[in-house]
């Protein structure tokens, strides 16, 4: 069994010449469920950067504790993203290395991060991806639908949803939608108005103990909507290829 108590030693053995770069922003993907999904490289980065910018420091703290990592964290959630961007850019320009993480998955995919990444590009600050799990891709694969082309909608807007759904109906490929446990049943009901005869795959609790994927036609799923447990985050995949 691998001893994960010293991530530095493991990384140095695997990549003896590896080290973090000064003045670089690392966009680090974190587990979407099972904490064992994270890569050795991601753990090394999280331990050795000067600062970790987190969507929620409490969530990231759980991951760091599991791997015995202690490092400076600051919160970087949606409501403070614009306000704290200048602080991060200043830190990067001063030569510090920063890791950007969301609560789960890849930052900037329906999560905070796109603003600071764009600002780094504009300021010629190096941005380095540290790939990993992503609920979008895993759910698309699990759907079994044709995925040679797909459209990522992300979360539907709170207002003007009908206009968006009407536009999505014209996109003839797999369509991926994120949804919360609070609106999943309402959203499926709305999808039934425009995609009743289409096949749908709904995944929740990805890579966790209670991971579930529901598959059916939209109208049939809407009819048996009570079977869907309103727990966790949801990824909806619509087969709109025909």
- Hey, what domains does the chain have and what are their CATH numbers? 7-130 (3.40.1010.10), 135-239 (3.30.950.10)
Whether 202 and 221 have beta carbons less than 8 Å apart is answered as: yes
Q: In what order do the strands lie in the sheet with 126-130?
A: 73-75, 51-54, 98-101, 24-28, 126-130
What confidence score (pLDDT) does residue 2 get? 56
124 — alpha (psi -120 to 50), left (phi > 0) or beta?
left
Structure confidence by residue, pLDDT tens digits, 115-132: 899 999 999 999 999 999
Q: The tokens of 66 are what?
A: 């599991």
Cα–Cα distance for residue pair 191/185, rounded to 1 Å? 10
Cα–Cα distance for residue pair 176/149, rounded to 1 Å? 11
Beta carbons within 10 angstroms of residue 132's beta carbon: 18
Sequence-ordered list of residues with C-beta below 8 angstroms from that of 174, at least 6 positions apart, any chain: 140, 143, 145, 146, 147, 149, 150, 151, 237, 238, 239, 240, 241
What confidence score (pLDDT) does residue 4 get? 62
List, for the chain, all residue ranges whose pLDDT scores fall below the cut of 50. Answer: 1
What sign has the CA pseudo-torsion 65, 81, 152, 131? negative
Instruction: For residue 32, report the phi and psi dihedrals to the nearest 5 degrees.
Output: -90, -5
Instruction: For residue 174, report the phi and psi dihedrals to the nearest 5 degrees.
Output: -65, 135
What confidence score (pLDDT) does residue 82 get? 72
CA proximity to 120, closest of 95, 101, 141, 93: 93
Helix (H), strand (E) at residue 130: strand 126-130
Tokens 């909806």 found at: 236
- Parallel, antiparallel, or unpaired for β 24-28 and 126-130? parallel
């Amino acid at each position: 069994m691998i001893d994960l108590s010293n991530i530095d030693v493991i990384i140095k053995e695997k990549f003896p010449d590896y080290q973090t770069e000064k003045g670089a922003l690392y966009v680090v993907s974190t587990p979407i469920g099972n904490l064992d999904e994270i890569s050795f490289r991601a753990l090394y980065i999280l331990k050795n950067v000067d600062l970790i910018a987190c969507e929620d420091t409490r969530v990231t703290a759980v991951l760091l504790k599991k791997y015995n990592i202690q490092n400076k964290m600051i919160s970087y959630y949606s409501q403070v993203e614009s306000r704290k961007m200048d602080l991060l850019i200043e830190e990067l320009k001063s030569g510090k290395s920063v890791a950007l993480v969301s609560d789960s998955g890849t930052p900037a995919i329906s999560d905070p991060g796109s603003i600071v990444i764009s600002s780094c590009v504009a300021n010629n600050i190096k941005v380095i991806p540290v790939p990993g799990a992503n609920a979008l891709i895993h759910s698309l694969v699990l759907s079994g639908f044709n995925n040679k082309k797909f459209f990522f909608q992300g979360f539907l807007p709170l207002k003007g949803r009908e206009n968006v759904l009407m536009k999505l109906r014209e996109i003839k490929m797999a369509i991926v939608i994120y949804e919360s446990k609070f609106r999943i049943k309402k959203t499926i009901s709305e999808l039934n108005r425009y995609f009743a005869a289409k096949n749908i795959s709904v995944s929740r609790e990805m890579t966790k103990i209670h991971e579930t994927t529901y598959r059916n036609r939209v109208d049939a799923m809407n009819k048996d909507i009570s079977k869907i447990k309103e727990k966790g985050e949801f990824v909806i995949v619509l087969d709109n290829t025909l």
